[in-house]
Structure 1
């Protein structure tokens, strides 16, 4: 089963550093649609893309997991 990641923290960092996903995508050299697909778990981040994003967003090595590998926690219903 594929994993879905919670990119809320990453989205916040993008907004903080670049203002918009469009500006962030220009800096990465990939399309805005591609960035959107990655942030919406449609396609996975490639290793080089992730490394470039970490660099341009100035994400400390100790925080990489929180930005890219936090799983979405599904709420279970209780009866």
Structure 2
């Protein structure tokens, strides 16, 4: 069963540090539609995109815990949820 990731923390991070998803997509070097596909769990984030975010998105390198929270938090299914 494929994992579904919860990107709510990443969306907040984007709003705080980039003001828009379009600016974050530009920072990653991908089209806005490609970023949306990642945030919708249709396409996974690449190691390159995660690394760029961890090292260059803020004025400090993100911790492993930060990276896990942003990119690897699983959606917890509820009873009756088909995820």
Same fold (TM > 0.5): yes
> CA offset at residue 60 of structure 1?
2.6
Quick one: distance in 2 between partners of 1:2 and 1:48? 21
Kindly report structure 1 stretches of 4+ aligned residues shifted beyond 4 Å.
Answer: none
* 5+ residue gaps, structure 1: none
The one-character-per-residue Cα deviations of 1:21-70 (angstroms, maximum 9, x if unpaired) are: 00111111111011111111000111111111222333333321111111
Instruction: Give the alignment's TM-score, normalised by structure 2.
Output: 0.83
| Unaligned 5+ runs, structure 2 | none
Asked if the contact 1:21/1:32 (under 8 Å) is kept, the reply is yes
Partner of 2:29: 29
Shift of 1:12: 0.2
Aligned residues: CA RMSD: 1.3
